[in-house]
Amino acid sequence: MENSFIHSFIAIPIIGFLLSLIVPQSNEQLLSRIAVLTVGIQFLSAIIFTVFWISNGHNIINIKEFSIYSSPGYDFYLDFYFDHITLVYLFLGSILTLIITSYSRYYMHRESGYKRFFNTILFFYSGFTIIIFSGNLETLFIGWEILGVSSFLLIAFYRDRYLPVKNAVKVFSIYRIGDVGLILVMWLSHHLWHENISFFKLNNAHLVNEHLEAHSWIGLTISLLIFISASAKSAQLPFSSWLPRAMEGPTPSSAIFYGSLSVHIGAFILLRTSHFWEHQTIFKVIVVISGIVTAIIATMTARVQSSIKSQIAYASIGQIGLIFVEIALGLHYLALIHIAGNAFLRTYQLLVSPSIVSYKIREQFYNFIPRTLTIEDSLPKRIENTLFILSLKEWNLDSILYNWLWNPLKDIGKKLKFINFQNVLFIFGALFLLGLIPLFFSNVLPKKILNILPEFYAFIGFIVVIKAFTERNSARLAYTLIMVNHFFIAMAISFNDEFKKEELIWYLSGVICAWLLGIYLLNRLRSKEEWISLDDFYGHAFEHPKIAIIFLICSLTLAGFPISPTFIGEDLIFSHVHFNQIGLAFFTSLSLIINGLAAIRIYSRVFLGPHIKKYHDVAKRSA
């Protein structure tokens, strides 16, 4: 009985999403009914199951489904888990998504992307459901990736406008940092537990303490990586600036994503892994300090924003900072109540924001009276003015990320002008073939050389993918470099023991197929258009929607999205990275961050944005 309910909770959103794909664009009524019915059934099922679960003792439910791939020392399996945290998020998700889908039936009426909107909402809800029911990191990561892609698609919903597309890429870049943070957590956890640990086993305090006593620094590193992933997803410092940028999408998507559900997934991960880090005092101090600082800075920034959506975004960030503090202090039930209250409040505020704007405009002209005294007036004037300017500039969080993260990569890419299509085949082809020699004669070569080669080839792959990320001329060259990067990662891992041919096929099969189809689509598009480059947004999805959607699927496959064996392959290769190979793990993880960004960047610049042809209407820059 319990298993059937858990399976239905996972299946209902997926079935609803698949049904919405086959409904014609013109049939708005059927599209909205499928969405409302899907979430409504989920909500009613949740009520029935809650009564059944409580009456049967409300014990934790853990269901190990099946192994997708297993080998000695490695098992990639699906695992589902249900407890009070899942229950809160289940009701929160079903109620708010039901409200949003009902609201969107009228709000999105006659929008050209009506079908695309409801497809993406149901796709998002499928990912959200997988996350909250996940019983291990691997299952959670599937839903995590779905959330990231659906977020990108909804921010870029007005794909014929410049700013929504540009901000969607910005947000995806932050999400990508969180993605790789989770991959590294899975890698270190594999070395700590010598298995793919489930959340159910983390409830065993004796088992956790036994492992952490002998490997305290590994435990702290895993906890910090979890915190980085949670902070990136929940817009905590220093990643806070992406949340207001994400408001370029339609108001209903802003409400469900950035006001209620998606933005609270970081808190969910901290709650779910709390048994692992609850005795790590240093980590809890870090979370508390970060949460308090985020709450203070976000609150000050919210008070000076001129946009109502930005005000709500920063107010939500501040509350989530306090939620992080509550979780770190062990106040889990208070945190769950706080999460629910914040989610409902922000959803309400965002849904009524269009009406509030029109009302406030009238009030401003006729009877607006500014407050005579504010809390800032108690500060010295110089400090007050300094805080005002910093808050107005959003504490330069965007500039900090660019100056310390993306600009150095772009500077490196500018120095790689010698890499062109001919050199890719000649130089990197030769390096790859040279790597096969020590691979086949590993028994003869000294260990010092064999220990250097994995880091060397991972570094070469890193250089290749930086060029793909910064390439501004040829889309085909950038796309090919992403494929070459995957091959160099595979070569680097191949020098380690026990990396089998079957695992290599799992990893590279999706990469090769996606690259071949993607290059074919780019060539086909180039035969129809005068020029395709990456120096601007060209908006070719306007005239070539079928090519655009297929190319998006190819790009997601190259980025390791869970629609191909590449997704499992990425986890597989990290399971073969030894604990002492810090350089290999570092360059491989950076490569996976950047190759996903490079793939989405190619798709965005070729197919999204204002159409380059002048006989089409040019949309406004912002939504």
Q: Which of 79, 92, 150 is closest to 120 using CA atoms? A: 150
Kindly write down the DSSP assignment for every residue of 554-598, as one continuous string.
HHHHHTT-TTSHHHHHHHHHHHTS-TT-HHHHHHHHHHHHHHHHH
Q: What's residue 362's pLDDT?
A: 59
In a domain, 387, yes or no: no
Q: What is the overall mean pLDDT for the chain?
A: 82
Q: Are residues 213 and 105 in the same domain?
A: yes
Q: Are residues 312 and 431 in the same domain?
A: no
What SS3 class is residue 37? Answer: helix
Q: How many domains are contained in the chain?
A: 2
pLDDT in tens, 518-544: 999 988 888 887 667 788 888 888 888
Chain Cα centroid distance, residue 191: 25
Say which range, 53-62, 223-232, 439-448, 449-458, has the weakest mean pLDDT. Answer: 439-448
What SS3 class is residue 608? Answer: coil
Q: Are residues 434 and 500 in the same domain?
A: yes
Would the CA dihedral through 419, 420, 426, 429 be positive or negative?
positive
**Boundary-marking domain end, from 324, 345, 362:** 362
pLDDT in tens, 553-601: 999 888 888 777 787 777 777 777 777 778 888 888 888 888 888 999 9
In a domain, 284, yes or no: yes
Say which range, 55-69, 97-111, 548-562, 608-622, has the weakest mean pLDDT. Answer: 608-622
E strands, 49-175, in order: 61-71, 74-82
- β-pair partners for 63: 80
Q: What's residue 326's pLDDT?
A: 93
In a domain, 185, yes or no: yes
Over residues 7-33, mean pLDDT: 87
Q: Are residues 321 and 460 in the same domain?
A: no
In a domain, 370, yes or no: no
pLDDT in tens, 461-494: 888 888 888 888 888 888 988 988 888 888 888 7
In a domain, 400, yes or no: no
In a domain, 477, yes or no: yes
pLDDT in tens, 345-358: 888 888 887 777 66
Higher pLDDT, residue 223 or 402: 223
Over residues 230-245, mean pLDDT: 85
Over residues 391-411, mean pLDDT: 77
pLDDT in tens, 119-173: 889 999 999 999 999 888 888 888 888 888 888 888 888 888 888 888 888 888 8
Q: Are residues 125 and 253 in the same domain?
A: yes
Would the CA dihedral through 354, 355, 358, 364 be positive or negative?
negative
User: How many residues would you count in the chain?
Assistant: 623
Domain that holds residue 107: 2-362
